[in-house]
Structure 1
Amino acid sequence: MKTKFNIFILILFFGQIAAQKTITSDSISRKNLNALKKDQTLKIDGILDDEIWKNVPVATNFVERQPNNGKPQPDSLKTEVKFLYDDTGLYIAAQMFDPDPSKILKELTERDNIANDDFFGIIINGYNDHQQSLEFIVTAAGVQVDGKLTTENEDMSWNAVWYSAVKINEKGWAVEMKIPFFELRFPKKDLQKFGLNMIRKIKRTNTMYDWNHVDNQKGNYTLYDGVLNGIENVKTPTRLSFTPYFSTYVNNFDGKTEMNVNGGMDLKYGINDAFTFDMTLIPDFGQANFDNSILNLTPFEQQFSEQRSFFMEGTELFSKGDMFYSRRVGGEPSIYPTVGENETLTEYPGKVKLFNAFKISGRTKKGLGIGIFNGVTEKMEATIQNNETGATRKETVEPWTNYNVLVFDQRFGGNSSVTFVNTSTMRMGEFRDANATGLLWNITNKSNTYNYYGNLKGSWVRDNGTTFGARGSAGVGKFSGNHRFEVNANLVDKNWDINDLGFSTLTNYGNHNAWYGYRILQPKGNLNNMYLNFNLNYYHRLEPFLNQKLVFNHNNSFTNKKFQSFGGGVEFTPYGEKDIYEPRTFGRYLKVPGYFDSWLFFESDSRKKLQYNVSVDYYAYDQKGRNLVIPSLYLRYRASDQLNLIWKFNPIFSNNEVGFAGKEDNQIYMGRRQRSTYENSLTGQYTFNEKMSLSLAFRHYFSDVTYKQFYTLENDGGLNENTFYSPNLARTYNSWNVDLRYSWWFAPGSQLTLLYRNATSNYLEVSRMRFKNNFNELFDAPMINNFSLRITYFLDYNRVKNWF
């Protein structure tokens, strides 16, 4: 209670300080530019000699953002941009001056990737409200990159259909763009006023410029846009598009070959000028990337990143509050079947089939964001065979299920928001249902220097009765200037559970944090920037109360004038830890000795042909022979502007760690173990042009664990050596996969992908195998060989209408 009261006093104190500031986002200097209406045809080819571009107002006088914030762009590297429009969209012509065009960096990549490239882009906000902008970026190699930029994050999974062309010329390089109005969001009115900023990156000097100056001392990027005027009498177009797909697969596994053909469609419809309806019909996610599975010895499930495009794009509203984990929709079945003594499980579905899903999202003129997600998965059954009669029976392991997410996000004051989130999972029949609700707030003062945030959340689970859980947090921080700080508190009760549609692990704890940071944001001496951070974290169990641990952490990073980054840090727990999760039993805990952790890292200049990043992290425990070593190595070799190779090596060596080994009646057993993990990955890409590429991805993960001694866990968290408990818990896990992918963007929004996959894995009840024997065992396991072809074609209603 005392901790909560102190935090409340801090919030009031800093609120009074913040209230003395009176600078608002409206007082930020904003440049203005007029767009002219186009009355002639225009070819998007990157050549700016068209008569139509003469006598068009020019945007210039860009200002450096990094590394010398606020410095004017030199005349030798000046940028000139012009805007035209017609009834269908915006047209942009940009000339990037460069005294030596031969030094312009232009590495080819796949769409939505920027590598060793100069680039130019526009950031446009149709509502001119500093809340959400759209990014359209073109690299000097002609590669398109697009995304959504909000006050909180940058979503590069969003894809639009637009047009661009690039040319290297005697002045430097030039780009022409057309952005159709159906990709923008703006209100229905006669005279438009768009928020606008423009960016330019010169890679060889690692300098970033903006048209409207962006102050890196405070606030966020969206506050610093200028204004695009002059667009009149433009009707909001019908925003309706269809993306039908065709796919075919040939799968070979364990000597059996299967072939299937699929077809379906994604649909996108603009309900009005602000809201969009997205739907996937008969979805096909067969070409999603493999999950990087590991040997998981923790009490919690492994969390995987989303790989399916429908769930990755346009989800900025649904990610509010971290209550929606989209992998639950179409994930694993929720129950495992009951199998009798004389029965064998012969068929168990690894994944639940998604029947359909849709999203509605957008933001009103007054800053209210609304998001609605709904997904339906099919009934899935397991097959069980009677060993005596041979008869089979079916058991439902996942019924027809409806998943729903509802979000209301009210933004105000440029940087502030209050958000309501609700998620629900409803399964047909007498299966588990769940609901979770959250209220979030994120308030920034008028001067954009202090931030006050927090949340209150509740979870309800109906499964043989109803269980209610709750969590909450509150914090305040200063996020401007060289000196910054933050204090916060988090409380999570024992029944908090959102795992039907979210992802939660730790429960029944309180966490109180204090952070101080010092940063140099302007070049000084031999440094371009410096970040120093100091953290103090205290954890305790809520029920029954128990002090768990106190953690001190210091980390730092530096970037020098050669654009090499380096740093490190230390972390230690002076009083050790009482781990309340490893015993897998409520009310019990394991005493873990204190540790001193230190780490170092170095990242070389990414502009070089050969880039290398190395790091080492070493935990020394206050226990003889116990330590944890985590080195890593990253090598990237740019053979040319078309060929790029990356190798990553991430081993982990854990000596004499203690972890859960088993449980019998009221006895909990722990084991002292040795664990070694090696993860190798190799990726390579050859890019033919800005629309066509060939990529290779390889990963081999190997981990083994050997138990040396077993113990009985005592009630005080200590260990008592046990010589009678001796199960075979030695394990070796291997995972191997290779992806070879050919991608061709043959038309705007349309793609052909040809994919070959080879994958296998094994899980053995042995450890410390010889390297050769381990590989022999791995490749004796059945392997998946998969060939697939997928074609998607974008159809815009406005274009199709003109065909007729």
Structure 2
Amino acid sequence: MNFPLKSILLFVFLSISCVSFSQTNDSIPRKKITIPRITEAPKIDGNLNDAVWQNAPIATDFVERQPNNGKLIADSLRTDVKIVYDDLGIYFGATMKDPEPDKILKELTERDGIGNDDFFFILLNGYNDRQQSLQFIVTAAGVQYDAKMTNENEDSSWNGIWYSAVKINDDGWVAEIFIPYSEMRFPNKNIQLWGLNMEREFRRTRTRYSWSPVNNAKGSFSIYDGEIYGIENVQSPTRLSFQPYISAYVNDFDGKTETIINGGMDLKYGINDAFTLDMVLIPDFGQSKFDAEVLNLSAFEVQYQENRPFFTEGTELFTKGNLFYSRRVGGYPSGFPNLSENEEIENYPSSVDLINAFKISGRTDGNLGIGVFNAITERTYADIKNTETNETRKELVEPLANYNILVLDQRFGDNSSVSFVNTNVIREGDFRDANATGLYMDLTNKKNTFNYFANAEGSWVKDDSEKFGMEGGAGMTKISGKHRVSGEINFRTKDYDINDLGYSSNTNYINYAGYYGYRYLQPKGFLNNLYLNFNLNYFRRLETDLYNNFIFNFNSSFTTKKFLGFGGGFEMTPFGKNDIYEPRVEGHYVKVPDYYNVWGWISTDYRKKLATDLTIDWYKYNQQGRGELRLELRPQYRVSDKLKMFFSTNVILSDKEEGFVDLENDDIIFGTRDRNTIINSLESQYIFNNKMALNLSFRHYYSEVEYSKFFTLQNDGELFENPFYDEDRDATYNSWNIDLRFSWWFAPGSQLTLLYRNAMENYLSDSRINFSNNFNNLFEEPQLNSLSLRVSYYLDYNRLKNWFGPNKKTNDVSLSLQNEKMNKSAFFDKRNLRH
């Protein structure tokens, strides 16, 4: 234990020393534009014929970013962007030439979706720090996409309220955009200096052009922002909005029908120019996307994707360090009932109700990011039945609980930060409490050629007893040029446990990792790009010291100039593995023979109506008959710009795998099993227009397991055949889900969703069931049929104030916005809005 910690501290010291040595000046040229203030707002209709556009400054001379990095844009694709501002916000008028305007690609998608489309992209950074930006995209079909971008990490769950319109003409197409100040964050200063970059996607040749040139050879995209000058004496309006909702559900399950009506509200308040409060009152997540459930035979729980909007939007600060797994809030109860003789559990809740939750997040002028998250969950009970008297009682399995996160993230330089994260869970009474704290360093030298990182975390849990665990690591990466290398070391003690508000699986290890990569920086020959990657990972158990695994991995990726993607790889564990997790008992391990794994994949051109992804993945173990074959096929067909279909089938055939089965007295029972899994999914979308869509999602998961032999695990990791274990462990599991959803964005920020859901599952202690009988058994199970309607409406405080207060001139920018909209020429003419 002492050696790894000393190694890490030494590595961190050397890394910091290297960073200090590397901090030499390497200025990156930044394009600049000075924009004027206007007094009359243009109408957002896709026609740049308003007077304000006539003499507006022009951002031009776009440069190719992909695939031919640095090449000047052709005159036939000349792209000019006019930019102006007023008391209300900032306006963009982009003119994009196209020699064949009738061939402009304009596939319709739902909001926040980009398909086979040309698009125009704005990246705005109110603090001009080259690290955090707001992203606004409008496609040639008029569909909006927006996101928060932090060091190229994109959070597309954020939805801003902004206005856009597009128009295709004889010379190409035009995008006209208005972004209100209420959607932006900028310092409270008289003179503003913002970061800006803009891009154009020319989809027919899949080329991307940016206004401020980007060097693909090093650094992240955001460090190449240009700058906007000329914005003076603007105020951020009162940022207060409400989103009340009402929802109704009719659920039918196992012959019982219930009707549920809910109401609640989301609230967003700008505490000052930088910090925002988000709060959800009486939440309703009944229309969230279904989970992709599986038959889990591993030693760890399945980590599901978060689909609840409140927990996906604006969480870039809270995901620092991976201490926050939002599914814990409102997830499974932490307790389990104490059963007396002749008692059984009649109903154990699968989730805990959320009472309310809020987030406060923002960043100061000094680039200190601060985030606070808090949520409170309801008391939850299990139903216990006495099998002799048929009497029932309730037992508390989750008390009133508080979940809290504090994040401090100090950024400096172009792309560096030091962060502190603390998570805390407090449950009333004698239930489990937990705390986790992490420190993180992420440094990039000024030349943007090397990145250095280190982390240290501690976890504390109080249940029947107390335990404390640690995690840490450090590493360095060359992030520039054709040749990339990295090395790192990570460790985690056996008592490290962040599972009350985070997710941790493997513990009690130390890992040494190395990487070498080679890539094309420019197209060459018949290839647009090429990536070759080599990885080494060496794992050992910490307590007590034991070899765990050594993995060599090679993977590759190629894209031709006709946009055919393909690649493959090879992996091997030449010394086998001592698996310390599969036995489920501390101190034990099972020997896993060495294997080699080869795979290949191909992805056809997504510009075509029919496109396909195919992956073949094969594992062969150094053990007779043991191996695994994985096949995945994902064709998609675009019937028209409005109708498209996506299909996926995934087949996993595993022979003679060995895994944990049971604990019997002091024996750990393993079994040899064959496992076959088939996952089919279908998604179909019909997009009526850029506000209205119909979406069908279907998934069927099937997995069967058949055991042939059972073994007792020995202390040396070997398996000894156990002919006396005769439990039937064969199993077949099915999960079936259908969602049919109609969505309508009927006003900015406001949405109506009508959802029909059908779901069922079954688990049988049997295998090798034929196709027909399997579905007969599945459809004999109780089905959930649910029809729900949810309507949410976006209300802005400034608009409400204008409705109910006197319409008079004030210094409030947003009230001015409302008065401006009353003019005939105002952009808010509903006939011309494109949301």
**TM-score strictly above 0.5:** yes
After superposing the two structures, state which structure 1 stretch, 64-73 or 77-86, moved more: 77-86
CA distance in 1, matches of 2:296, 2:173: 51
- For 1:282, the equivalent position in structure 2 comes to 282
Partner of 1:519: 519
Q: Which amino acid aligns with 1:532?
A: L
Match of 2:815 in 1: none
1:486 aligned residue: 486
**Unaligned stretches of 5+ in structure 2?**
805-835
2:708 matched to which residue of 1? 708
2:111 pairs with 1:111: yes
- CA distance in 2 between counterparts of 1:759 and 1:769 reads 21
- Confirm or deny: 8 A CA contact 1:24 1:446 kept in the other structure: yes
Once the 2 structures are TM-superposed, how far is the Cα of residue 386 of structure 1 from its aligned partner? 2.4
Q: CA separation of 1:24/1:269 partners in 2, compared to 1, >3 Å: closer, same or farther? A: farther
Could you tell me how far apart the structure 2 residues matched to 1:558 and 1:13 are? 36
* 1:347-397 CA distance string (max 9 Å, x none): 322210000000000111111000000000000111222233333221001
Q: Is the 8 A contact 2:63 2:71 kept in 1?
A: yes
- Residue in structure 2 matched with residue 98 of structure 1 by the alignment: 98
Native 8 Å contact 1:18 1:449 kept in 2: no
SS of equivalent residue, structure 1 residue 191? coil
The superposition leaves residues 458-491 of structure 1 with CA deviations (integer Å, 9 ceiling, x where unpaired) of 0000112211011111111111111111110111
Give secondary structure in 2 for the equivalent of 1:763. Answer: strand
The aligned residue for residue 319 of structure 1 is 319
The answer to whether the Cα contact below 8 Å between 2:15 and 2:452 also exists between their aligned partners in 1 is no
SS, match of residue 204 in structure 2: helix
Q: What SS does structure 2 have at the residue aligned with 1:231?
A: coil
In the alignment, the residues of structure 2 paired with residue 331 and residue 414 of structure 1 have an alpha-carbon distance, to the nearest angstrom, of: 39
Report the CA distance between 1:11 and its aligned residue. 6.4
Q: Give the count of matched residue pairs.
A: 803
Q: C-alpha offsets along residues 683-703 of structure 1, whole Å, 9 cap, x if unaligned?
A: 000000000000000000000
Alignment of 1:489-504 (within 5 A): 489-504=489-504
Shift of residue 239, structure 1, vs aligned partner:
0.5
* Partner of residue 734, structure 1: 734
The superposition leaves residues 101-160 of structure 1 with CA deviations (integer Å, 9 ceiling, x where unpaired) of 011100000000101000001100111111200001000000000001111511111110
Partner of 2:476: 476
- Deviations 1:658-707, CA, capped at 9 Å, x for gaps: 00011122211110000000000000000000000000000000000000
Asked if the contact 1:730/1:767 (under 8 Å) is kept, the reply is yes
Mapped to 1, the partners of 2:342 and 2:609 lie a distance apart of 63
Output aligned runs, 1:57-96, within 5 Å.
57-96=57-96
Which residue identity is paired with 1:245? Y
CA distance 1:596–1:413, change in 2 (3 Å)? same
| Deviation >4 Å, runs of 4+ | 1-25
C-alpha distance in structure 2 between counterparts of 1:162 and 1:408, whole Å: 30
2:422 is aligned with what amino acid?
N
Q: Secondary structure at the match of 1:185?
A: coil
- Between the aligned partners of 2:493 and 2:472, the Cα distance in structure 1 is 9
Partner of 1:192: 192
The corresponding residue for 2:226 is 226
Deviation at 1:339, TM superposition (A): 2.3
Structure 2 counterpart SS, 1:205: coil
Kept in 2: contact 1:521–1:528 (CA 8 A): no
* Equivalence for 1:586: 586
Q: When the two structures are superposed, what TM-score results if normalisation uses the length of structure 1? A: 0.98
**Which residue in the other structure is 1:653 paired with?**
653
| 1:691-770 equivalent positions in 2, closer than 5 A | 691-770=691-770
TM-score using structure 2 length:
0.95
Letter in 2 for 1:444: T
- Aligned-residue sequence identity (percent) comes to 58
CA distance in 1 between counterparts of 2:615 and 2:713 reads 36
- Residue 571 of structure 1 deviates from its aligned partner by 0.4
Residue of structure 2 in register with 1:800 after alignment = 800
Structure 1 residue 70 displacement after superposition: 0.5
1:666 aligns with 2:691: no
Alignment of 1:767-786 (within 5 A): 767-786=767-786
Whether contact under 8 Å (2:4, 2:510) holds in the other structure is no
Instruction: Compute the displacement of 1:23 (Å).
Output: 5.1
Give 1:230's aligned amino acid.
Answer: G
- C-alpha distance in structure 1 between counterparts of 2:196 and 2:786, whole Å: 46
Which residue number corresponds to residue 808 of structure 2?
A: none
Residue 410 of structure 1 corresponds to 410
Give the deviation of 1:15 after TM superposition.
6.4
* Aligned counterpart, 1:120: 120
Trace 1:217-616 onto structure 2 (pairs within 5 A): 217-616=217-616
In the other structure, the counterpart of 1:626 is: 626
The 3 A distance-change label for structure 1 pair 441 and 763 is: same
Shift of 1:85: 1.5
**Contact 1:101 1:172 (C-alpha < 8 Å) held by counterparts:** yes
Give 1:19 shift. 5.4
**Alignment-mate amino acid for residue 147 of structure 2:** G
Change in 2 beyond 3 A, CA 1:325/1:15: closer
C-alpha separation in 1, matches of 2:311 and 2:536:
36
CA, structure 1 residues 3+348, in 2 after alignment: closer, same or farther (shift >3 Å)?
closer
Q: Report the CA distance between 1:224 and its aligned residue.
A: 0.5
Q: Which moved more, 1:455-464 or 1:35-44?
A: 35-44
Q: Partner amino acid for 1:708?
A: S
**Pairing 1:637–2:623 present:** no
Cα deviation, residue 344, structure 1: 3.1
Is the Cα–Cα contact under 8 Å of residues 162 and 180 in structure 2 kept in the other structure? yes
CA separation of 1:631 and 1:536: change in aligned 2, threshold 3 A? same
Partner residue, 2:820? none
- DSSP 3-state at the match of 2:193: strand
Deviation track 1:43-102 (CA, whole Å, cap 9, x = no partner) reads 111111222210110000001100000011111101111112221111111111111101
Structure 2 counterpart of 1:702, one-letter code: Y
Tell me which amino acid in the other structure corresponds to 1:176.
E
Q: CA deviation at 1:229?
A: 1.3
State how far apart, in whole Å, the 1-side matches of 2:16 and 2:504 are.
32
Asked whether the equivalents of residues 120 and 137 of structure 2 are also in contact (C-alpha less than 8 Å), the reply is yes
Partner amino acid for 1:465?
S
Distance, in Å, in 2 between the alignment partners of 1:758 and 1:22 is 59
Change (3 A) 1:152 1:167: closer
Letter in 1 for 2:68: N
Contact 1:599 1:617 in 2 (8 A): yes
Is the Cα–Cα contact under 8 Å of residues 642 and 687 in structure 2 kept in the other structure? yes
Given that residues 370 and 409 in structure 2 are in contact (C-alpha distance below 8 angstroms), is that contact kept between their aligned partners in structure 1?
yes
Using the alignment, how far apart are the partners of 2:438 and 2:66 within structure 1? 38
The residue type equivalent to 1:323 in the other structure is: L
Report if aligned partners of 2:12, 2:454 keep a CA contact under 8 Å in 1: no
Task: State the 1:21 CA deviation.
Answer: 4.8
Cα deviation for residue 42 of structure 1 reads: 2.1
Cα distance between partner residues in 1 of 2:10 and 2:269: 49
Report the secondary structure of 1:650's partner residue. Answer: strand
Instruction: Name the CA distance, whole Å, in 2 between partners of 1:780 and 1:394.
Output: 30
Change in CA separation of 1:23 and 1:640 when aligned onto 2, cut-off 3 Å: farther
Partner of 2:831: none
Deviation per CA, 1:486-536, whole angstroms, max 9, x where unpaired?
110111001000000000010111111010111112101111111111111
Give the 3 Å change call, closer, same or farther, for CA 225–557 of structure 1 in structure 2: same
CA–CA distance in 2 between the matches of 1:571 and 1:719?
Answer: 25
Q: For 1:310, what is the secondary structure of its paired residue?
A: helix
SS class of match (1:559): strand
Q: Matches of 1:52 and 1:774 in 2, distance apart? A: 68
| C-alpha distance after superposition, 1:13-35 (max 9, x if no partner) | 6766665655547x211111122
SS in 1 for 2:761: strand
- Give distance in 2, aligned partners of 1:100 and 1:152: 33
Whole-angstrom distance in 1 between the partners of 2:8 and 2:389: 68
Q: How far off is 1:3 after superposition? A: 6.6
C-alpha RMSD of the superposition: 1.4
Deviation at 1:6, TM superposition (A): 6.6
Question: Does the CA contact (< 8 Å) of 2:11 and 2:475 recur in 1?
Answer: no
User: Could you say if the C-alpha distance between residues 524 and 18 of structure 1 is closer, same or farther in structure 2, counting changes exceeding 3 Å?
Assistant: farther
